[in-house]
């Protein structure tokens, strides 16, 4: 059950960060850059599996999920996606890009009250990325980015179910601040490459590309002619 990096010909790159940190924009730009070089690239967003989507949606709506159940639903979803998409594509020699990976669960589930050891063991079936970018922005910046794109914060991204504060904005800052603290705690252990996400999009992307090109022999991943 435990997969080890050694069996995979491919490379795994993950982006992590709080909501509004700009990580999704950055990984999409990275994806386009790699694809434009005709490389074997596979992109996978967080929670894209159909298998338990309905369960999560229903559970969230009814607000009847405890931290353990909430965590397990997401782990199930991830395991399904991991076994059917990520691991096969890594075996097939692709560069796999993940918009959020297991560290999202590490930080979110522990902030919600699960034990860190339990969550780590839960996700122990998944390989660690070859490269993990942590996008670290001030919370005001993240908040501004989200609200520039849509009228209001979402209930769960603000952590409103945790009863931290009466308003969405206040709750967002407390909740996402806690997530950010957890991310920073994991930084050294999992060798995150921290990107200053207060900077401009192009500046960040240049840093990301430089790092990817420096760590991965991209020519090895060229699509067959």
Which spans of this chain sit near its own copies (rule: CB under 8 A)? 1-2, 51-52, 54-55, 58-59, 64-69, 72-73, 75-76, 79-80, 82-84, 113-115, 117-118, 121-122, 124-125
Angle between helices 168-186 and 102-111 (to 10 degrees): 120
Phi first, then psi, for residue 15 (nearest 5°) are -115, 140
C-alpha neighbours within 13 Å on the C-beta side of residue 152: 6
DSSP secondary structure letter of residue 163: -
Q: To the nearest whole angstrom, how small is the minimum distance from the Cβ of residue 67 to its own copies?
A: 7
**For residue 182, what are the CA distances in angstroms to 107, 168, 188, 190, 215?**
5, 21, 12, 12, 26
Q: In this complex, which beta carbon is closest to its own copies, that of residue 52 or of residue 197?
A: 52
Q: In this complex, which beta carbon is closest to its own copies, that of residue 116 or of residue 177?
A: 116
Q: To the nearest whole angstrom, how small is the minimum distance from the Cβ of residue 129 to its own copies?
A: 19
Q: In this complex, which beta carbon is closest to its own copies, that of residue 85 or of residue 198?
A: 85
Q: To the nearest whole angstrom, how small is the minimum distance from the Cβ of residue 2 to its own copies?
A: 7
For 111, other C-beta atoms within 10 Å of its C-beta total 18
| Distance (Å, whole) CA 148 – CA 190 | 32
Q: In this complex, which beta carbon is closest to its own copies, that of residue 59 or of residue 177?
A: 59
Phi first, then psi, for residue 213 (nearest 5°) are -65, -30
Q: In this complex, which beta carbon is closest to its own copies, that of residue 66 or of residue 167?
A: 66
Q: To the nearest whole angstrom, how small is the minimum distance from the Cβ of residue 59 to its own copies?
A: 6
Q: To the nearest whole angstrom, how small is the minimum distance from the Cβ of residue 81 to its own copies?
A: 9
């Amino acid at each position: 059950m435990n997969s080890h990096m050694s069996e995979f010909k491919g490379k795994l790159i993950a982006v992590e960060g709080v909501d509004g940190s700009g990580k999704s924009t950055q990984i999409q730009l990275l994806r386009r850059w790699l694809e434009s070089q005709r490389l074997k690239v596979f992109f996978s967003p967080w929670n894209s599996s159909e298998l338990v989507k309905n369960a999560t949606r229903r559970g969230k709506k009814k607000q009847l999920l405890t931290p353990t159940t909430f965590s397990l639903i997401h782990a199930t979803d991830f395991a399904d996606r991991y076994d059917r998409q990520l691991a096969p594509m890594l075996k097939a020699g692709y560069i796999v890009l993940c918009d959020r990976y297991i560290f999202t669960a590490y930080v979110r589930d522990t902030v919600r009250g699960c034990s860190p050891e339990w969550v780590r063991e839960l996700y122990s079936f998944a390989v660690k990325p070859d490269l993990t970018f942590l996008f670290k922005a001030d919370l005001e910046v993240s908040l501004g980015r989200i609200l520039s794109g849509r009228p209001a914060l979402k209930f769960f991204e603000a952590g409103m179910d945790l009863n931290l504060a009466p308003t969405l904005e206040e709750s967002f800052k407390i909740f996402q601040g806690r997530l950010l603290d957890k991310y920073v705690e994991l930084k050294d252990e999992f060798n995150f490459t921290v990107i200053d996400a207060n900077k401009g999009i192009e500046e960040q992307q240049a840093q990301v590309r430089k790092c990817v090109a420096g760590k991965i022999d991209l020519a090895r991943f060229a699509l067959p002619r």
